[in-house]
Homo-oligomer: A and B are copies of this chain.
Amino acid sequence: MKSEVEEAVLGRIRPRPPEQQEVLGVAEEIIGAVNLSGRAEAMLVGSVARGTWVRGDRDLDIFMLYDPALPREALEEEGLGLARDVAKRFGTDWREKYAEHPYINATIRGMDVDLVPCYRVASGAEIRSAVDRTPFHTRYIRERIAPFVEDVLLLKQFTKAGGVYGSDQMTEGFAGYLCELLVLHYRGFTPLVEAAARWRPGLFIDLEGHAAKSFDDPMVVIDPVDPKRNVAASVSISKMFAFVELCRGYLAAPSENFFFPPPVAPFTLEEFGVEVARRGTHLFAVSFETPPFIPDVVVPQLRRSLEGMRALLERSGFVVNRAEEAMGEERCLLLFELFSREMPAVVRHIGPPVWSRSNAEKFAGKWRECERFAGPYIEDGRYIVEVERKYTHAADLLASPEVLGVGLGKHVKKAMEKEWVVLEGLECWSPEFAGFLTTFLQKETPLTRVLRARTE
């Protein structure tokens, strides 16, 4: 039932028996230890629990279910305490991490293990926080997924290769659970791909036919376990259609490239310079220290700050072709590609309609007292004066205090209040951001990249 290409791909991504044994063995040990403590009931969740994990994924998610009667603080104290014990006992190192609530992440026998306390609630409708839902997800999938495990593996690999896998803020793509639900709904990878080729925004899927809310998102997949939740809320319209495009391309000409894309060699500084010169545009970057928070917190703020600065540039006369954000280990980069880096001394300042007598007289009277290039004059019934432009160089504008007033995210603003640097042209390049800059200059959909690789 699977095509030749798909069989070949499965041959590369199915977990091998020794690997399966190892992973499940570690899971069993940890579960045993948690259950033995008598304090919580351990449950293996995630793709390992559902059998839908891809070769090389060494992620274990172990949830520790507690009595819902326990107060939140006690849950955290006990749960984290237990998790730390387990981590110390089995692991080489561990750390506390934060999503909606704290949990422990440990490295155990080379595996990345999340130990997460949650409430054992009676149904999906009674959850106190997102993690309480996970056991229900796991059960729902495990009860249905058996005939479609390989379809899920294919879909995960396909979406990963296309850069649309992952519901984090950076990726804005398909979560693993979403992939499983789509495969269940369409009953396989192939029917899914055929249907997706025809998707339109406003797609609505409701496996249990129980939606209790409406959504504005371009893609809606109602959680079978929670009628008020859209599992596909994380999918941006761009990523939804990058996926649609990939499906169309795959149907037209299937190949392993759709599952294992050729790597993009990042530009060297020299190649970067050549490409920028060829484009004839002007690159500017605002660079500042990365705020000490997880990407899911920082990235949305970077995007908001980016849009704010873009609007500032545009209303100051600098036309922005593209803008993208990048979050590095030490520094963040807000990158702008401008069509013009300099504007003339003159700028128009548009006033009120001339027939609005008191406004008009105030405006004209005021400006006749000021230094100006021309005006007031009347154009299309409004007063116009031509005055000195405040910033004639984009670099000066980006280095000015105006940047702090554009609706920056809270953490971004704090970082910038310490310092920020304006980089221009080749200055924007660094080894850390070489990949980001390369993708920026060669912006193309995942399908375009796959097709280009075929011809090269």
Contacts and interface: CB of A to CB of B under 8 A. Distances in A.
Interface residues of A, number: 55
A348 B361 contact: no
A357 B248 contact: yes
Contact of A451 (B368, B374, B441): B368
A255 interface: no
A346 interface: yes
A179 B448 CA distance: 69
A443 B378 CA distance: 9
Interface stretch (A45-53, A142-150, A277-285, A297-305): A277-285
A379 interface: yes
A interface majority secondary structure: mixed
Interface in A300-339: 317, 319, 321, 339
Given A317-B339, A355-B199, A381-B241, A374 B278 contact: no
Contacts of A379: 238
A48 to B, nearest CB: 34
Count chain B CB atoms within 10 A of each CB in A279, A339, A344 and give the residue with the most: A344
Given A237-B380, A339-B317, A443-B375, A281 B346 contact: yes
Contact of A237 (B238, B244, B381): B381
A357 B448 contact: no
Interface in A360-382: 360-361, 364, 368, 373-381
Contacts of A130: none
A376 B444 contact: yes
B280 A392 contact: yes
A321 B441 CA distance: 31
Count copies of this chain in the complex.
Answer: 2
B245 A364 contact: yes
Nearest to A252: B361
A12 interface: no
Interface string A430-453: 000000000001111101100110
A201 interface: yes
A321 B448 CA distance: 39
B377 A443 contact: yes
A116 to B, nearest CB: 35
A381 B199 CA distance: 13
A274 interface: no
A368 B448 contact: yes
B448 A377 contact: yes
A242 interface: yes
18 contacts: A200-B355, A201-B381, A241-B381, A244-B354, A244-B355, A245-B378, A248-B361, A278-B345, A279-B344, A279-B373, A279-B386, A282-B344, A321-B348, A321-B386, A339-B344, A375-B445, A376-B445, A386-B443
Given A241-B354, A241-B381, A281-B345, 4 more contacts: A201-B381, A279-B344, A279-B345, A364-B445
For the complex of A and B, 10 pairs with smallest distance between CB atoms: A280-B344, A280-B345, A241-B354, A200-B355, A281-B344, A377-B443, A374-B443, A279-B346, A238-B378, A237-B381
